[in-house]
Amino acid sequence: MILSGSATQQLAAALAAELGDDLARVEYESFPDGEHIVRVPPIDGRAVVVASTVSSDAHVELLQLQDAAHEAGADEIVTVIPYMGYARQDEAFEPGEPVSARTMARAISTGTDRVVTVCPHEQSVLGFFDVPATGVDASAHLANPLPADLADPVFLAPDEGAVGLAQSVRDGYGVGETDHFEKHRHSGSDVTVTPSDVDVSGRDVVVVDDIIATGSTMSEAVGELDDPARVYVTCVHPLLVGNARLKLANAGVEAVYGTDTIERAVSTVSAAPAVAETLQSL
Ligand code: R5P
């Protein structure tokens, strides 16, 4: 049985359809003091909790779903985290800071037999869980919504860490060059990027990243492109906080694409087939 978090209902339904599993009609409620509660039906066998931890409340909800699944009779609990929040704080960058990814992973490990997460920010995050944890690559289908007539396309990563993703999207598209920018982050919303070596003049460009959060990285990268034809941006996790979508539009981006690990208007690619394949192989 699939148990969905409140922010992941579209992906959970797609996953249930892929697997032929029951989709539980979970109830979500809030108390006047702001605390939350979930209710799940009786469970016979394996429970698959599917919840992106897009907020602190979503983290709490995930922990509650795991506990509710246990109380409802599940004999095995698999936790699918399509988007793992706090994963970018995978080290203490300044003295006195926590390794938040490890904190969250440890808490999640207490209520599950194993974890599956989609394109974690760094693969090393998987090692923070105290139970077996598997990463799923959902980038292969990100090329699907791109126009079929891209002119001499260039697939660019905004930093070196996203080069593999850019190559994966290029491979999915079937043709094109890949390269990357150099990125320097000054704060949570202030980044600078320096251009890649590739001549993009008159060519269609696709900029690929794992996460678009504030949109600063993408809009800075797009702003550095010298006379491209059309520019598209695509990512696995379209967090798109604040005015990120406006920044991208102002930078001249034709279209934004992402997967349904985070349910947004741009989530045109489903991670469900890749997650289902992993679950079937466990
Ligand atoms: C960071 O290394 C990630 O790969 C993304 O580039 C980053 O999270 C994007 O954040 P923002 O949209 O806020 O620039």
- Phi, psi (deg, nearest 5) at residue 171: -60, -40
Regarding the beta carbon of 85 and ligand 1, being less than 6 Å apart is answered no
Nearest alpha-carbon partner for 166 in 202, 212, 208, 117: 208
Regarding the beta carbon of 248 and ligand 1, being less than 6 Å apart is answered no
CB atoms within 10 A of CB 209: 24
**What number of residues does the chain have?**
282
Cβ–Cβ under 8 Å, residues 116 and 85: no
Cβ–Cβ under 8 Å, residues 16 and 23: yes
Please give the angle made by the CA atoms of 268, 136 and 248, to the nearest 5 degrees: 40
Atom from ligand 1 closest to the CA of residue 213: 12
Regarding the beta carbon of 212 and ligand 1, being less than 6 Å apart is answered yes
Residue 229: its pLDDT value, please?
A: 98
Residue 18: its pLDDT value, please?
A: 97
Question: Which two three-digit tokens encode residue 248?
Answer: 């991208």
pLDDT category, 105, cuts 50, 70, 90? very high
Question: Which two three-digit tokens encode residue 265?
Answer: 């208007």
> What is the residue with the minimal CA distance to atom 7 of ligand 1?
211
Atom from ligand 1 closest to the CA of residue 244: 12
> What is the residue with the minimal CA distance to atom 10 of ligand 1?
213
How far is 245 from 267, CA to CA, in rounded Å?
Answer: 13
Average pLDDT over residues 26-45: 97
Assess whether pLDDT exceeds 90 at residue 279: yes
Residues 6+ apart with CB under 8 A from 24: 1, 2, 3, 4, 40, 41, 43
**What's the CA-to-centroid distance between 79 and ligand 1, angstroms?**
25
pLDDT digits (tens, 9 = 90+) for 204-242: 999 999 999 999 999 999 999 999 999 999 999 999 999
Assess whether pLDDT exceeds 90 at residue 6: yes
- Among 185, 211, 253, residue to substitute to test ligand 1 (most atoms within 8 Å of Cβ): 211
Q: What is the DSSP secondary-structure string of 125-187?
A: GGGG-SS-EEEE---GGGGTTS-TT-SS-EEEESSGGGHHHHHHHHHHHS--EEEE-EEEE-S
Residue 27: its pLDDT value, please?
A: 98
Type of residue at 52: S
Residue 190: its pLDDT value, please?
A: 80
**What's the CA-to-centroid distance between 221 and ligand 1, angstroms?**
11
**What's the CA-to-centroid distance between 121 and ligand 1, angstroms?**
10
Regarding the beta carbon of 82 and ligand 1, being less than 6 Å apart is answered no
pLDDT digits (tens, 9 = 90+) for 141-192: 999 999 999 999 999 999 988 999 999 999 999 999 999 988 788 877 787 8
Nearest alpha-carbon partner for 105 in 93, 121, 37, 277: 121
- Among 187, 209, 237, 264, residue to substitute to test ligand 1 (most atoms within 8 Å of Cβ): 209
Residue 102: its pLDDT value, please?
A: 98
How far is 268 from 281, CA to CA, in rounded Å?
Answer: 25
Residue 186: its pLDDT value, please?
A: 80
pTM of the model: 0.95
Please indicate whether residue 247 is annotated as part of the active site: no
Residue 191: its pLDDT value, please?
A: 79
pLDDT category, 198, cuts 50, 70, 90? confident
**What's the CA-to-centroid distance between 213 and ligand 1, angstroms?**
6
Which of these is catalytic: 183, 237, 245, 264? 183
